Amino acid sequence: MTAPRPALETAAMVRAGELSAVDVLEHHLAVIEAGEEAVHAFNLVTADQARAQARAVDATVAAGGDPGPLAGVPVALKDNLCTRGIPTTCSSRILEGWEPPYDATVVTRLAAAGAVAIGKTNMDEFAMGSSTETSAFGTTRNPHDTDRVPGGSSGGSAAAVAAGFAPLALGSDTGGSIRQPAALCGVVGMKPTYGTVSRYGLVAFASSLDQIGPFAGSVADAALLFDAIGGHDPLDSTSLNRPTPRVLTVLDDGVDGMTVGILTELLDGAAPDVAARVHQAAEALAAAGARVEEVSVPEVTLGLSAYYLIAPGEASSNLARYDGVRYGLRVDAEDTVAMNTATRSQGFGAEVKRRIMLGTYVLSAGYMDAYYNQALRVRTRIIEGFDTAYSRCDVLLGPTTPTTAFAIGAKVDDPLTMYLSDVCTIPSNLAGHPAISVPYGPGEDGLPVGVQLLGPALSEGTLFQVAAVVEGAAPPLAAPRVTTGGPA
């Protein structure tokens, strides 16, 4: 099977006039048509809008202009990123019929870079889930095995890249929602430092944790996308007003002289085949000139408990705006209180309701200090633990997920077991630090294994340097069962 053409190569050929953006788009639309029924990566394929964008790119090239570094490259957008005049549902019934009056900043930056937005991808409802099974619009399936989950909450974006529906995609990562599905689908997924990518136009789940980041088929393509979306945004009050690390130019710099720490706590609950891949990646980094040692950060074991107090608390506040009055679903009733209740009862799914109730409880009078504020103190301890580790190491290494992709339905009725799917990824969100998942061969069941690289704030350049070396040493991974279609 022919591998899909990398985004870097596609953009270069479109900019040089060697390839038409319209032809690239039509090829990917055909791949979607052939495989989408089996995968269900999208809530909406925006074919007409994408064709208009592709024609504009070709017109710019024909006029001698430069459309930008992502010229003609199709990009899939997670359905919690606002798109002007195009439905944005967060895979929830409660946003039925809502078309935002503005674009998210990352959507604007993609257009400015010449990218072609190809559709809105399926996700766990309001990004609350680890398997894309909580979507109101059906489950997304893993292209490597359609009986398995793609991970979540950005499962549609990960599956779209893995299946060749789009070379690039954007997701959001609140507790691992980019890196976890990237690992399970065998693609690259990266969570940036909090504040380096604008959250303006991202429908909020937990505002102190959410970050937008790239999915790609390779480390280089992920770097290309990160460089396009990063940077200060005055529309986002949490955006860092300082230069964002540029990463595409450092991919060949290697790891000679770096210190890589194997984060032992992340390996404790990992399946043997996943742990073995992490150790193999460590050996590859050592062979490439890095100093590798084991590092303990005991505080990360508290991450899951702290996260499931902080994130639901913020979610209960953010989701209070969905009241049936201003936008989205409205279920009529005899008075305002009954209308609010009926709308939220019918509009929200079970997992969202569970987290709203948990969050409301931990923020309530008499319980906030015992639960929410205590979780914030634990968060500080995690940050301090990482700071100690990074005083010795340039980056940390561990598994992205404890296991390979699990069967659809296997954990949906057991919330605690489902929450454990994010145990390796949550600590970076609590600290606000960047992390990247890189495919590293198959597990014993033949499904993808992802290894995770973690770094201190604003260390994206270093992470991508190391990720490129890891990628170069990775064992081969079988192509997805759902056809990837090959290059345009």
User: Catalytic amino acids?
Assistant: 78, 153, 177
Residue 188 to residues 160, 175, 242, 472, Cα–Cα distance (Å): 12, 17, 26, 13
Question: CA 216 to CA 238: how far, in whole Å?
Answer: 26
At residue 453's C-alpha, the angle toward residues 451 and 457, to 5°, is 155
Burial letters 281-297, b for 16+ CB under 10 A, else e: bbebbeebebebeebeb
Question: CA 275 to CA 278: how far, in whole Å?
Answer: 5
Residue 198 to residues 120, 202, 231, 288, Cα–Cα distance (Å): 19, 8, 7, 35
Q: Say whether 324 sits in a helix, a strand or coil.
A: coil
Question: CA 211 to CA 202: how far, in whole Å?
Answer: 9
Question: CA 115 to CA 119: how far, in whole Å?
Answer: 12
Question: CA 211 to CA 223: how far, in whole Å?
Answer: 16
**Residue 486 phi/psi, 5° resolution?**
75, 175
**Residue 172 phi/psi, 5° resolution?**
-125, 150
Q: Which two tokens stand for residue 370?
A: 């015992």
Residue 459 to residues 166, 189, 214, 436, 477, Cα–Cα distance (Å): 27, 16, 16, 11, 28
113, 228 Cβ separation under 8 angstroms: yes
Burial letters 232-244, b for 16+ CB under 10 A, else e: ebeebeebbeeeb
**Which residues have a Cβ under 8 Å from the Cβ of 242 and sit 6 or more positions away?**
232
